[in-house]
Amino acid sequence: MISSRLKAQRHMLLAGFIFNLLLIVIFLIAKYLLLHGGLLFEQLHPGLLILLLFSLFANMALRNLYIKTSSLEVFFLFLFLLSLTLESLRGLAVLPHSLNAPLYIRNILSRSVYWGRVFGLLCLFTSSLYGVGFKYSNHSALVIALLLISLVLGSILPLDITATRGELLYKLGDSKGYMFLSYTLGLLLIINFLAAAFIRLSKRFLIIALAGLLLLVGRELVFSTLEPLFFLPGLVLLVLGTFIFSRQIGVFYLWV
């Protein structure tokens, strides 16, 4: 018998897959409309579509691994990768300008991207907590709490609507708090995975700590700019980090 909590988690995985697929459809429709409408569609960088497709296929693979292992490290890695789909909204952020739409729409798109980044980081950090033996079992409530925390933080971040970054978003009015949160959680999750190697007596968590670092660096490179010199290496690091993380977790739980 499958427990109700496991069913709920599988439903969340399915909902994430559908959300990912929906964003791909929206992206392709927007690309088509821009190309045929003579607007600034070149801003819909193909790299963002590649990022969406990576998230989609990676999450399909992780869903199968989670069904086999019920590993909460994998479950929250899935949510981290799902948060990458919101990065595609950077491309859609040019539409309000191109279509003379109200600027608050671009504001919402920008905040959605920052919200997704905070949520993804919190999910990867939570994955590391379960790596060291975190026992909280109401996972649905935990995911909802992470969503709410991310929404609150994404809502209160000050935005400078007079300036944009290279990734097509409004700049943060004060980036110090956001950077402090990002670096602190990033450092703590690496420490957690390193500690897990000693707590759970498995050197595989040392490799998972490396994979976590690759995921963090890759995400920052993908976010920093759409220039191929940084975007493509960032995407490669995300692929490598996901593969190494999922492989080592699979070996730890299944001995495959």
Q: Contact 232/50 with Cβ under 8 angstroms?
A: no
Confidence at 184, pLDDT banded by 50, 70, 90: very high
pLDDT tens digit sequence for 96-147: 555 555 667 777 777 888 888 899 999 999 999 999 988 887 888 898 999 9
- 254 Ramachandran zone, left/alpha/beta (phi>0; psi -120 to 50): alpha
Q: Contact 124/215 with Cβ under 8 angstroms?
A: yes
**% of the chain exceeding 90 in pLDDT:** 27
Q: What is the residue whose two structure tokens read 């969503």?
A: 147
Q: Count Cβ neighbours within 10 Å for each residue of 5-28 and write b for 16 or more, e otherwise.
A: eeeebbebbeebbeebeebbeebe
Round the average pLDDT of the chain to a whole number and report it: 80
Count how many Cα atoms sit within 13 Å of the Cα of residue 226 in the half-sphere of its side chain: 20
pTM of structure: 0.84
Give dist(CA 235, CA 239) in Å, integer. 6
Give dist(CA 30, CA 200) in Å, integer. 48
| Mean pLDDT of all residues in 188-198 | 95
- Supply the pLDDT for residue 205: 94
- Supply the pLDDT for residue 161: 65
- Range name among 149-163, 193-207, 210-224 with the lowest pLDDT average: 149-163
| Mean pLDDT of all residues in 27-50 | 62
Q: Which residue has the higher pLDDT, 61 or 104?
A: 61
Q: Which residue has the higher pLDDT, 11 or 85?
A: 85
Q: Which residue has the higher pLDDT, 80 or 69?
A: 80
Q: Contact 27/90 with Cβ under 8 angstroms?
A: no
Q: Contact 236/218 with Cβ under 8 angstroms?
A: yes
- Supply the pLDDT for residue 34: 60
What values do phi and psi take at 168, rounded to 5?
A: 75, 20
pLDDT tens digit sequence for 73-99: 988 998 999 888 887 777 665 555 555
Q: What one-character-per-residue DSSP string does 149-211 give?
A: HHHHHHHHS-EEEEEE-TTSSEEES--HHHHHHHHHHHHHHHHHHHHHHHHTT-THHHHHHHH
What values do phi and psi take at 71, rounded to 5?
A: -75, 125
Give dist(CA 202, CA 252) in Å, integer. 8
